[in-house]
Amino acid sequence: MAIKHKDLFFDYPEYWPKPNYDFSKLSMSENEFQLGRQLFYDPILSRDNTISCASCHLQATGFTHVDHDLSHGIDGRIGTRNSMTIMNLAWNTSFMWDGGVNHLELQALAPISSENEMDETLANVVDKLNESKKYKSLFFQVHQDSLVTGQKTFLALTQFVVMLNSYNSKYDKYIRKEAGGDFTEQEKNGLSIFRENCASCHKEPLFTINEFKNNGLKVDTTLNDYGRMLITQNSKDSLKFKVPTLRNIQFTAPYMHDGRFETLQEVLDHYTADVQESKTLATELKKTIQLSHIEKVDLLVFLRTLTDKEFLFDKRFSFPNNNL
């Protein structure tokens, strides 16, 4: 068995919690990272070779889809949900809006295969990769074995996406008291409004508690998506969705699991005026959040400090520009 060279460092601020993901199956090698990057941007992963992961997860928008509220492209449940951002995934305890996927390495199975036809599909992808000279050689570089398997394909994708970490926003620099991290009065005020009203769910530093909550959205009767309940089959989970991170939120519109809001202004209007009472509504939201016009503006200004341009424009994460 080849002991793999570990030349990638998984970096994160030391005051962050430990990642939840167990890295032991990854080679942590540059080769596997680059292989994963190729796969992420390659439509070879779709049935008809038209859609890549990047079709729905664009780097410049925090790896989510901008123009559509409901992601297009593949049948099955995916068509009824808004694409999610991909960042800091090693800290997630589950994946998807309803947490249906229990492990990062298996997340890609959902977009690659649709529910009823899955038996063939990943197997076909693996066949296609096994027929590709380019991929045989890339897999060989990682495993000293050119045979492509489902497991190796998923590990490579994981090696890429798990490195997509965002921790260099203005907010992060403010917390670390670094250059570029000077908050204006407005931003400071926005942060304290945030901590008072939002942080119970969107908790720093990852801006999520990794739990499922009903944040009071009106049920869209054309979709009737009950979220977490689909997975647990427990009515206590009705209308609960994963609390998403708010990092890079300025660029990840549209918002919510069904992409119903175009702007952050609308999101704030929801939290302050339109929260729907129901059996499963989060206790944190039972009492209406009251914000003046000025407070809302300050909060919006603060949310922009979560933008991490270094991450959004990091060339290592972009479309691989090569002639392989």
Segment lying near another protein (by CB under 8 A), choices 40-48, 107-115, 212-220, 294-302: 107-115
Q: Which of 46, 47, 24 is nearest to 104 (CA)?
A: 24
**8 Å CB contact between 106 and 116:** no
Can you tell me the distance from the alpha carbon of 155 to that of 162, in angstroms, rounded to the nearest whole number? 10
Q: Which residue has the tokens 């209007």?
A: 269
Residue 296 binding ligand HEC, by CB under 6 A: no
Nearer to ligand HEC, 183 or 190 (CB): 190
Q: Which of 13, 219, 236, 324: binder of another protein (CB under 8 A)?
A: 13
Shortest spacing between CB 303 and another protein, in angstroms: 23
Minimum distance from CB of 208 to ligand HEC (Å)?
8
CB 201, min distance to ligand HEC, A: 3
Q: Please select the residue that binds another protein; options are 122, 199, 282, 289, rule is CB under 8 A.
A: 122
Q: Which of 104, 217, 267, 303 binds another protein (CB under 8 A)?
A: 104
> Which candidate, 138, 273, 294, 280, places its Cα nearest to that of 211?
280
Question: Tokens representing 113?
Answer: 């295969």
Task: Choose among ligand HEC, another protein, none what residue 8 binds, the Cβ cut-off being 5 to 8 Å by kind.
Answer: another protein
- Segment near ligand HEC (CB under 6 A); pick from 10-18, 105-113, 138-146, 311-319: 105-113
Among 31, 59, 61, 92, binds ligand HEC (CB under 6 A): 92
| Alpha helices (H) along 209-262 | 229-232
- Cα 259 to Cα 70, 74, 102, 202: the distances in Å are 6, 17, 23, 18
**CB burial of residue 195 (10 Å; 0-12, 13-18, 19+):** middle
CA–CA distance, 234 with 5 (Å, rounded to integer): 45
d(CA 18, CA 163): 15
d(Cα 203, Cα 55) in Å, to the nearest integer?
29
Report whether 26 contacts 5 (CB < 8 A): no
Applying CB under 8 A, the residues found at the interface with another protein are: 1, 3-4, 6, 8-16, 22-25, 28, 76-77, 96, 100-106, 109-110, 112-116, 118-120, 122-123, 125-126, 149-151, 153-155, 158, 176, 230-231, 233
Applying CB under 6 A, the residues found at the interface with ligand HEC are: 40, 45, 51, 53, 55-57, 71, 73-74, 77-78, 81, 83-84, 86, 89, 92, 95-98, 107-108, 111-112, 157, 161, 197-198, 200-202, 213, 215, 217, 241, 243-244, 246, 249, 252, 255-257, 264, 267, 271, 282, 284-285, 289
